[in-house]
Amino acid sequence: MHYNEIIDPRFDWPLDTNNLNRQVTSKYTDANATHHYVDANGNYTNGNAYILSSNAFTNFSVNDAITNNTNNGTGYITVKNSSSNVRITITEGGFKTGDQILKSANTAISANITSTVILSGTPVTNFTFEDELNESKRRIKILKASYIDAIVNDFKKKLGE
């Protein structure tokens, strides 16, 4: 376990499908909400999207920070096309149809998203993120037999035996 950097034997091993599903549903409000965005190389990136709402962006302005009140998500408005259509840069999490957003500087100002169009960045859902993390734990390193005696002796020295 030490060789594979496994500290918690309960959660550092890969989970089976049922336990993974239980973990995701207990950790996130919505398993299908966006966890983050990636670029073409799989690197974390900001997402860019148009979000629409029925004339609810009247009190929103360019550069206003926004927060997703329904799921996890933060960003800011980069373009205000109309009182029903804004372009946003998503810095964390995501925004999707049905979510409610709040103006970060004044949370009394809100809008319900009626449509979302992703312009750049590929969304990665909470479930996909947790599944990829879980799959990365399947690669287990096996110690060569020729090193076992040296490691056991070193471990005994550290224990003071």
State the pLDDT at residue 35: 92
Q: Is residue 138 very low, low, confident or very high in pLDDT (cuts 50, 70, 90)?
A: confident
Helix axes 126-136, 17-27, angle to 10 degrees: 130
State the pLDDT at residue 19: 93
pLDDT digits (tens, 9 = 90+) for 82-132: 999 999 999 999 998 999 999 999 999 999 999 999 999 999 999 999 999
Q: Encoding tokens for residue 44?
A: 């974390």
Q: Which residues contact 122 (CB under 8 A, 6 or more apart)?
A: 37, 38, 39, 40
Checking if the pLDDT of 135 tops 90, the result is: yes
Distance CA 12, CA 133 (A): 10
**CB 121, CB 43: distance < 8 Å:** no
Sign of CA dihedral 89, 128, 111, 92: negative
Checking if the pLDDT of 141 tops 90, the result is: no
**CB 95, CB 117: distance < 8 Å:** no
Checking if the pLDDT of 148 tops 90, the result is: no
pLDDT digits (tens, 9 = 90+) for 58-71: 999 999 999 999 88
Mean pLDDT of the region 53-59: 87
**CB 37, CB 94: distance < 8 Å:** yes
Q: Record the pTM.
A: 0.73
Element (H, E) at 159: helix 148-159
State the pLDDT at residue 160: 79
Q: Is residue 74 very low, low, confident or very high in pLDDT (cuts 50, 70, 90)?
A: very high
pLDDT digits (tens, 9 = 90+) for 18-35: 999 999 999 998 999 999
